[in-house]
Amino acid sequence: MGVSLRDTRSEELYSRAVQYLPGGVNSPVRAMGSIGRDPIFIERGAGAEITDVDGNTYVDYVCSWGPLILGHANPAVVAAIDEVAADGTTFGAPTALEVDLAEEVSRRVPAIEMLRMTSSGTEAAMSAIRLARAATGRTTLLKFAGAYHGHLDGLLAQAGSGMATQSLPTSPGVPEAATAATVVVPWNDPDAVREAVAANELAAILVEPYPANMGLVPPREGFLELLRELADESGALLVFDEVISGFRVAPGGVQELAGVIPDLTVVGKILGGGLPAAAYGGSRELMELVAPAGDVYQAGTLSGNPLAAAAGLAPRRQHDEAAYARLASTTETLADGLREAAASADVPVEVVEVTGLVTVFFSDRPVTDYAGAQACDTERHGAWCRELLARGVYPPPSQFEAWFPSIVHDSGQLDLTIEAAGAAFAEVA
Ligand SMILES: *Cc1c(COP(=O)(O)O)cnc(C)c1O
């Protein structure tokens, strides 16, 4: 019955990798520990497919965790990178490309009049927080349990024993002082947010407006509007972390989709078209507090890098109305197919979707917060993922992530995926 994956060369590489890289990887989720196997080493990608070092080809639903909305080795992106690289890769001085990209982002994202680029989402989130603190003259932050804003010390926090009190570090090496100014409340819980806003002088309410780092858990009706109201009433800034959702769920991200406009927005992933780039932005008034226009210090050797700006412009040029419509229908086909495949095999799952994002929760009840996500059957999810890999489908190897369909996944690849998912569900039923 079962099929197994040929992975001799991946295993060889892994045994070398663990000698030099902690856990054999440069970012933990790649180790595939949470689905109970060793990492798969990738050799190349084309469109929606990747091929590993053992010659296995997969339909890829990680797509580098979001940046590759146009798929792998998109010809326009590759050509843009080649052309720019031939004239030099970095100058530490301004170039036209970063102005073009900034203009394009500001045109698309409602709340961004002006922005500052960085090399990673973590850096952009960290800098947005510094700006929010400077603008408000306050220190305390509110974040939601299960949301991810990068690995900065202050946000590697979990709720302490009492609600609306100071939080505890989630990682060794993070001082308690670093998380003391972070309040963590459950997602989708209006009362908890109201209480925390009343009990603290907040500099910022930080939110992944469509959280996708605990699996995809959309906001309940009116929740984002409530956050906007509470921020206005209390004088806190509302910060949307749209590192995943930006340029994905709609051209202008969740803020466009939901019509709730934040004060500051953090973008990344798709922004750099597969090269390192992220940014934070907002009104001219707020952003001109940043140096050298203002005195909030923030800098970066490779920020606004010409290769990343060129790669980032290509998706914006190709990712038009028609492309979003196509992504919406691809997402729907995928989600419906996965739902039906699970039902046929009698495996209880909750399939959640928004344009460009899908999560299959191994849960028999709707997941509305992090506690719900944590209650999923992660063992069975892991076994299902291993079965998918053996059948040519590369899912995100964790229950707490989303699938990233792209605009280049075609109907043949979707059929293959849904058929593989059905067989995999049958194996774990
Ligand atoms: C990936 C991610 C980040 C961090 O971005 P990096 O480029 O990995 O530092 C921040 N916020 C969200 C919502 C993300 O998904």
pLDDT in tens, 226-266: 999 999 999 999 999 999 999 999 999 999 999 999 999 99
Average pLDDT over residues 57-71: 97
For ligand 1, the distance from its centroid to the CA atom of residue 224, given in whole angstroms, is: 20
Answer yes or no: is pLDDT of 2 > 90.
no
Three-class HEC string of 157-189? EECCCCCCCCCEECCCCCCHHHHCCEEEECCCC
Closest residue (by CA) to atom 15 of ligand 1? Answer: 244
Provide the b/e sequence for 222-257 (b: ≥16 CB within 10 Å): ebbebbbebbeebebbbbbbbbbbbbbbbbbbbbbb
pLDDT band, residue 162 (cuts 50/70/90): low
For ligand 1, the distance from its centroid to the CA atom of residue 414, given in whole angstroms, is: 27
Q: What does the block give as tokens for 7? A: 């992975």
Residue with tokens 């934040």: 262
Per the prediction, the chain carries an average pLDDT of: 96
Distance between CA atoms of residues 392 and 383, nearest Å: 15
How many Cβ atoms sit within 10 Å of the Cβ of residue 182? 24
What is the CB < 6 Å shell around ligand 1? 120-122, 125, 148-150, 208, 213, 241, 243-244, 268, 278
Answer yes or no: is pLDDT of 105 > 70.
yes
Active-site position among 14, 58, 61, 148: 148
User: H-type helices in 186-282, by residue range?
Assistant: 190-199, 223-234, 253-258
User: Whats the size of the chain, residue-wise?
Assistant: 429
- All residues at 6 or more sequence positions from 236 whose CB lies less than 8 Å from its CB, including other chains: 136, 138, 142, 197, 202, 203, 204, 205, 230
142: left (phi over 0), alpha (psi -120 to 50) or beta: beta
Helix (H, G, I), strand (E, B) or coil at 67: coil
pLDDT band, residue 302 (cuts 50/70/90): very high
Distance between CA atoms of residues 91 and 223, nearest Å: 44
Distance between CA atoms of residues 190 and 115, nearest Å: 31
Average pLDDT over residues 168-185: 93
Known active-site residue 148: yes
Q: What is the dihedral of CA 102, 107, 112, 116, to 10 degrees?
A: 0
Contact 272, 81 (CB under 8 A): no
pLDDT band, residue 160 (cuts 50/70/90): confident
Answer yes or no: is pLDDT of 288 > 80.
yes
Known active-site residue 269: yes
